[in-house]
Amino acid sequence: MMEMVLYAGAVGLLVIGIAGLVLSHHLFRQVLALVIAEAGANLLLLLAGYRFGGEAPIWSEGSFPSVMVDPVPQAMVLTAIVIGVGIQALAIALLIRVRQQTGTLDREQAVIEMREALDQELGRFSTAPKPRSQYAPKGERPLYPVVEEGQDAR
Amino acid sequence: MHAENLALLVALPLLTAFLLQPLSQKFAVGWLAPLTVLVTLLLTLQLGAGVMEQPISSVMGGFVVPMGINFYLDGLAWLFLIALQLSLLLLWPRGEQGQSVRVQVLMLLLTASSIGLLLSGDLFNLYVFYELLAVATFGLVAAGESRATAIISFRYLLLSGVGSVLALTGIALLYSHAGTLNLGHLAELVASGELVLPLSAFLLMLLGFGVKAELFAVNGWVPEVYATLSPRLSALLAGVVSKLALIVIVRLLVLLFPTPEASQVLLLLGVLGVLSGELAAWRAQDLRRMLAYSSMGQLGVIFIAFSLSVEAGLLVGIMLSLHHLLVKPGLFLLTEQRFQGWSMVLFILFALSLVGVPPLPGFWAKFALLTGLVSAGGWINSTALVVFLFATVVEASYLFRVVQHYHQERERHQERGRAAVSVVGQDNSGVWISTLFATGLLLTAWQIQPISDYLQQLAVQAGDRQQLSAIVVGVTEGRP
Amino acid sequence: MVESIESWIALLLVGVMLSAALVALLSRSHLVAVVSVSVLSLGLTLLFVLLKAPDVAMTEGVVGAGLSSLILALALSRLGLLRSTKAGATDE
Amino acid sequence: MSREQRSLEWTPLLFSGGLAFLLFTLFIATMFGEPPMRAGAMIQQAGGVELGAANLVTAVVLGYRGLDTLGELAILFASATAVGLVLSTQNGESDKQASVFPDKIFLGEIFESASRLLMPLLLLLGFYIIIHGHLTPGGGFQGGVILAIALFLPALARSGEIPLNHATIRLVEGGAGTLFILIGLMALMQGESFLQPLLQPGEIGALFSAGSLPLLYLAVGLKVGAELAALLVHLSGESA
């Protein structure tokens, strides 16, 4: 039963994370979802080295335990956890910048801003018919709204 | 040359990266980073002397193989190492971006991780280098000039994050079946039939490592990122770095999953990549995104090539990769400024080769794929063949639409009695570097026979699992 | 019997972790979401102890429950998400 | 624009359900509890003797898979560098924002004096964990994180100066990473391979044992501490 529970937990975290990443409309929640998915993957990796009745691979009372769990996945999970936190910090930093650049943390809104900025910066070559993207804004509006700092906090 | 020195190729760029920031507070160190790459290039040349006859393997820390991590240098890795480091030297960011110590540091980390990806013989270690490559790329994307850099980099980070979670899951699955992650050791176990790895592990790792290789379904980042990066960095990422992830995937396919099912998955994703990439490129509104989409399509073609049988597929795939490695950076560099005169000539040359016009190398690579697909037979391969031919037509149409557009623009300018376009003091280095790539292309066209013989040898070596496990694990007896 | 006790603890922890994950993604308040991610990390830490991985447990405890939560809390303040709820985040 | 109007998207949910089922069955089919341990068993036999580390995980992290650890340090370094790049391009802007911000974490005087008391204790604990990494659970990563938090606490409480300035952090960052690589290179210079453990393994369980592993862990701890401190400083928006 134990493996059922553990694998259900790990796979559950992984899938909740990935689904949350796809479904969230808020960029900050997407970061949280990534953190959750990573936790699930780490747990899966650790489970790959578990042994029934095994002890932690540490010298105690003059000898190593006779049955030990596999130390290799443990070392790899250690590495993966630290990698994960580095990426998480970078994601947060990028989010802070996203808010400065586009003034929003809503996913769709940010994508619209991005496409507008790109179209404006790269518009060099236009022989193909201009397609209306589903994200294109309706009606007249300034190409790039100037957003004051801290506007959405008020 | 001492085989243990393989580690230096990764250690030296890392060392310089760590030292660069403290040093830069005292001295101007702009030259130190490229110099390091030059040193590793020389080291590579020295190490690779006998590698075509006998690949070398070196275990970090001097442990026995399944315990320690090994570096493995064969002809394939060596060739791409040289290509990587030459491209790095040519495309090293200059100007305002190059002044920033942080950008230099990230470039060095990119260098170290790329070299690591080519050399490492351990799956989890590959994952670590892959993550390092990813993080360095996020930083470089965010350092771009566009107003949308942060959101683009963030979206790339999320996609890549999902990829790495999937890859990690694949590694976990593989480890719980095999109990080892060394590629040589695994290859030996798989070849002897002692171990059957689940295809799903391949799928998970394919999606994970495929993010950087512009594999279909995980290539959503490509147009945005290449549109915001400076042309040099786009050239570097599209030209060389994508091939490194590709080589990782190919090694997985050849060494661990030599089953028809795995190849078919690759073929399917390749076909979808070709279709989506080329059609998107046809509809693209600007040159950079067009090139980015077309790069997705061409990577798809390369995936199709690698999905052929090991003997035929490796050779064709390597040919196509090398061709793309010469052409795509050249094209991206041309987007640095407006087209005129010489850059137009270069663009047409690259476009002709990309489409596959006879004396140019692109033709030979595509022809090899064509014959490969025809001789492989079966309805799947025939479908791939049709898609591939269709893609070539689409490719030709959009590339020459660009030529036509710029030609018309130029004539319009001339009618108004103005010089085409001449911005005073424009930086022309992009065109010069692009010229170098074009020279490489023409040299290849000239020496096509010896080069393809060499690649043939290379492919045979890269497909030789027994040699690999013999060299890496050191067990040869008891196996024919 | 030890086996089954461990199983029950594992079941409890997994339940807590999965619900924390759901709360983190579904709750309206960002603060609650961050707190649930920390709870998830704590649960994972205990599970790692149960799986005889003290090193990993320590890392997860320090990194996941400590540092990562600190980073997310800083993010909340820097992104101005402490007051606004998920729905109101972009309504200006 | 209200979020409530967005209907639940069923396709991704169904897809995730399928994925969950697939992964679950895949992993259930593995040999849980009795892993093959091809590499692991060898390490368990050889690890203690070869490296003299009482904690086998440490032996793997710094010995057998030392390259992974180096790569990981590089990732943290890359991440800190990228964060610096992202958040420093608009320094003026972010400073203005920090002062305008209504939501700044405010922690009272109690926390401030507590943090002053706590900091040396945490520093001590961090170093203790680092130097006992080869004996007991814990080591460079865990200790390093504690160091970073200890250094950051006063900043959080006083929303001001950090006991270390940026130049020092950078020096430690660079120095510790260099130390790790140099220890690795020393073996290479002696004709052995990169990252080969130096010195004698010594007696398992003693503080001065496991050869150069404690030194490596010290480098890891300092590096991790410096990187994370730099990250936290950048993220908190302090212009240190």
Structure-model confidence comparison of residues D236 and A80, the more confident one: A80
Return the percent helix, strand and coil in chain A, to nearest 5: 60, 5, 35
Which of B271, B257, B236, B216 is CA-nearest to residue B381?
B271
Across the A:B interface, residue pairs with CB atoms under 8 Å apart total: 143
Out of D23, D68, D77, closest to residue B18 by CB = D77
Residue B457 has pLDDT above 60, yes or no: yes
Would the CB atoms of B62 and D196 count as touching at under 8 Å? yes
Which tokens is D57 given?
């995980």
The C-alpha of D190 sits at a distance from chain C's nearest C-alpha, in angstroms, of 32
Looking at per-residue confidence, does D228 or B27 come out higher?
D228
Decide if pLDDT at B246 tops 80.
Answer: yes
A15: closest CA of chain D, how far (Å): 6
Closest-CA distance of chain A to residue B197, Å: 15
The pair of three-digit structure tokens given for residue B19, joined into one six-digit string: 């030292």
- pLDDT at residue D3 is higher than 50: no
For residue D91, pLDDT beyond 50: no
- Report pLDDT for A151: 39
Question: Do the beta carbons of residue B140 and residue A52 sit within 8 Å?
Answer: no
Q: Tell me the C-alpha distance between D106 and C73, whole Å.
A: 12
* B336 Cβ contact list (under 8 Å, min separation 6): B231, B232, B427, B430, B431
pLDDT of res. A130: 41
Residue D137 to residue A56, Cβ atoms within 8 A: yes
pLDDT at B478: 38
Q: Give residue A90's pLDDT.
A: 93
Question: Is residue A29 over pLDDT 70?
Answer: yes
Question: What residue of C is the nearest CA neighbor of D95?
Answer: C78
pLDDT at B123 over 60: yes
C with D: touching (≥3 Cβ pairs within 8 Å): yes
Element (H, E) at B57: strand B56-59
pLDDT of B115 higher than 90? yes
Q: How far is D86 from chain B (nearest CA, A)?
A: 6
What are the pLDDT digits (tens) for D107-135? Answer: 566 667 777 788 888 888 888 888 887 77
Partners for A (CB, 8 Å, 3+ pairs)? B, C, D
* CA pair distance B318, B80, nearest whole angstrom: 10
Amino acid at D19: L
Burial class, D22, CB count within 10 angstroms (exposed 0-12 / middle 13-18 / buried 19+): middle
Over 50: is that where the pLDDT of A150 sits? no
Bridge partners, residue B57, by sequence: B72
Reply yes or no on whether the pLDDT at A126 is more than 70.
no
Residues C1-7: contacts with CB under 8 Å, at least 24 apart: C3/A2, C4/A1, C6/A2, C6/C50, C7/A1, C7/A2, C7/A5
According to the per-residue pLDDT averaged within each range, which of A43-47, B280-284, B307-311 is highest?
A43-47
Structural domain boundaries in chain A: 1-52+69-121
**Burial annotation D177-213 (CB, 10 A radius, 16+ → b, else e):** bbbbbebbbebbeeeebbbbbbeebbebbeeebbbbb
- Asked if the Cβ–Cβ distance from D193 to B4 is below 8 Å, we say yes
User: In which band, very low, low, confident or very high, does the pLDDT at C84 lie, cut at 50, 70 and 90?
Assistant: low
- What integer is the mean pLDDT of A5-9? 87
Residue B479 scores a pLDDT above 50: no
Domain parsing of chain C, residue ranges: 2-78
Q: What are phi and psi of B323, to 5 degrees?
A: -60, -45
Within chain D, strands assigned E span: none
Domain-located, residue B423:
no
pLDDT at res. A30: 92
Mean pLDDT of B465-472: 80
Report the domain count for chain B.
1
Q: List, for residues B349-388, the tens digit of each pLDDT value.
A: 888 888 888 888 888 888 888 888 888 878 888 888 888 8
Lowest mean pLDDT among A18-32, A123-137, B193-207, B271-285: A123-137
pLDDT at B166: 92
Please give the DSSP secondary-structure letter assigned to residue B131: H
**pLDDT for residue C89 is more than 50:** no
Tell me which residue in D35, D175, D181 faces B11 most closely, judged by beta carbons.
D181
For chain C, list the contacting chains (3+ Cβ pairs, <8 Å): A, D
For residue C73, the chain A residue with the least C-alpha distance is A92
Share the mean pLDDT of chain C.
Answer: 82
**CB within 8 Å: D81 and B106:** yes
What percentage of chain D carries pLDDT values higher than 70? 75
The predicted model scores a pTM of: 0.89
Nearest to A101 among B131, B147, B227 (CB): B147
Higher-scoring residue by pLDDT: A11, D23? A11
Which residue from D minimizes the CA distance to A53?
Answer: D33
- Closest partner CB to A72 (pick from D40, D48, D54): D40
User: Does A19 contact D at CB distance below 8 Å?
Assistant: yes
Residues of chain A with C-beta less than 8 angstroms from the C-beta of C81: 28, 105
The mean predicted confidence, pLDDT, of chain A is 76
What per-residue confidence (pLDDT) applies to B338? 64
Higher pLDDT, B144 or B86: B86
D3 → chain A, closest CA residue:
A25
pLDDT at B415 over 60: yes
Share in percent of chain B as helix, strand, coil (round to 5): 75, 0, 20
| Residue D188 token pair | 């290479």
Taking an 8 Å cut-off on Cβ atoms, the answer to whether B138 and A94 are in contact is: yes
Three-state SS for C78? helix
Contact B32, D187 (CB under 8 A): no
Q: Is residue B45 part of a domain?
A: yes
User: Measured between CB atoms, does A94 come within 8 Å of chain B?
Assistant: yes
CB atoms within 10 A of CB C41: 25
ipTM of the complex: 0.89
A24 touches chain D (CB under 8 A): no
| Structure tokens belonging to residue B194 | 């002692």
Average pLDDT of the segment spanning B305-311: 84
Which B positions 152-211 lie with beta carbon below 8 A of chain D? 153, 169, 173, 175-182, 185, 189, 198, 200
Does residue B157 surpass a pLDDT of 90?
A: yes
Task: Provide, as residue numbers in chain B, all residues whose Cβ is less than 8 Å from the Cβ of D195.
Answer: 7, 60-61
The 3-state DSSP class for residue B58 equals strand
The residue segments making up the domain with residue B465 are: 3-414+431-472
- Determine the average pLDDT of the residues in C71-84: 80
Number of neighbours of residue D163 by Cβ within 10 angstroms: 14
Q: B480 lies in a domain?
A: no
Distance from CA of A73 to the nearest CA of D (A): 9
Chain A residue with Cα closest to C60: A81
Within a domain: residue B420?
A: no
Per the listing, tokens 């103005």 go with: B418
Residue B376: what residue type? A
- Residues of A in Cβ contact (< 8 Å) with B173: 44, 48
Backbone angles phi, psi at B182, to 5 degrees: -75, 125
Using an 8 Å CB-CB cutoff, list chain A residues near B284.
Answer: 128
The proportion of chain C whose per-residue pLDDT surpasses 90, expressed as a percent, equals 24
- Nearest chain B residue to D24 by CA: give it: B173
**Cβ neighbours of A37 in B, within 8 Å:** 161-162, 165
Question: B363: which 2 tokens?
Answer: 């033709």
What would the mean pLDDT of C49-72 be, rounded to a whole number?
A: 88
CB contact under 8 A, A152 and C68: no
Taking CA atoms, what residue in D is nearest to B181? D39
Q: A27, A31, A124: best mutation site toward chain B, by most B Cβ within 10 Å?
A: A124
**Chain B residues with CB inside 8 Å of D46's CB?**
64, 67
Say if residue B476's pLDDT is above 70. Answer: no
Candidate from B285-289, C77-81, D126-130, D234-238 with smallest mean pLDDT = D234-238
Angle formed at CA B105 by CA B99 and CA B108, multiple of 5 degrees? 115
Q: Any idea what DSSP says for residue B5?
A: G
Q: Are D57 and D213 in contact (CB under 8 A)?
A: no
Specify the pLDDT at position B226. 87
Q: Is B105 on the interface with D (CB under 8 A)?
A: yes
Torsion angles phi and psi, residue B56, rounded to 5: -115, 150
> Which range (B143-147, B181-185, C34-38) has the least confidence?
B143-147
Q: Any residues with CB less than 8 A from the CB of C48 and at least 6 apart, and which?
A: A46, C54, C56, C57, C60
Percent of residues, chain B, with pLDDT higher than 70 = 94
Band the pLDDT of B162: cuts 50, 70, 90. Answer: very high
Angle at Cα B222 formed by Cα D85 and Cα B244, nearest 5°?
Answer: 85
B15 touching D (Cβ < 8 Å) = yes
Per-residue pLDDT at B169: 92
Confidence of residue B425 (pLDDT cuts 50, 70, 90): very low
A45 neighbors D30 (Cβ within 8 angstroms) = no
Confidence category of residue B48, pLDDT binned at 50, 70, 90: confident
Does residue C69 contact residue C34 with C-beta atoms inside 8 Å? yes
Smallest Cα–Cα separation from C41: which of A43, D32, A30?
A43
| pLDDT at D157 (0 to 100) | 66
Angle at B435 between CA B432 and CA B438, to 5 degrees: 160
> Inter-chain contact D137–C71, Cβ cutoff 8 Å?
no
For residues B132 and B137, what is the distance between their CA atoms, to the nearest angstrom? 8
Interchain CB distance below 8 Å, B158 and A21: yes
Please give the residue of chain A at the shortest CA–CA distance from C67.
A85
Nearest CA in chain A to B225: A118
pLDDT band at D61 (very low <50, low <70, confident <90, very high): confident
Residue A74 in contact with partner chain D when CB distance is under 8 A: yes
Q: So what's the pLDDT on residue B339?
A: 63
Does the distance separating the beta carbons of D235 and C74 come in below 8 Å? yes
Task: Please give the pLDDT value at position B124.
Answer: 93
Mean pLDDT for A25-38 is: 92
Q: Is A74–D30 a contact, with Cβ atoms under 8 angstroms apart?
A: no
**Contacting residues of D for B177, CB less than 8 Å apart:** 30-31, 36
pLDDT classification of B26: cutoffs 50, 70, 90:
confident
Domain A1-52+69-121 has what CATH class? mainly alpha
Which of A 15-54 lie inside 8 A of C, CB atoms?
16-17, 20, 23-24, 26, 28-29, 31-33, 35-36, 39, 42-43, 46-47, 50, 54
- Inter-residue contact C15 to C47 (CB < 8 Å): no
Report the range out of B253-257, B467-471, D158-162 with the highest average pLDDT: B253-257
Q: Which residues in chain C are closer than 8 Å to D146, comparing Cβ atoms?
A: 62
Angle at the Cα of A108 (from A107 to A114), degrees rounded to 5? 90
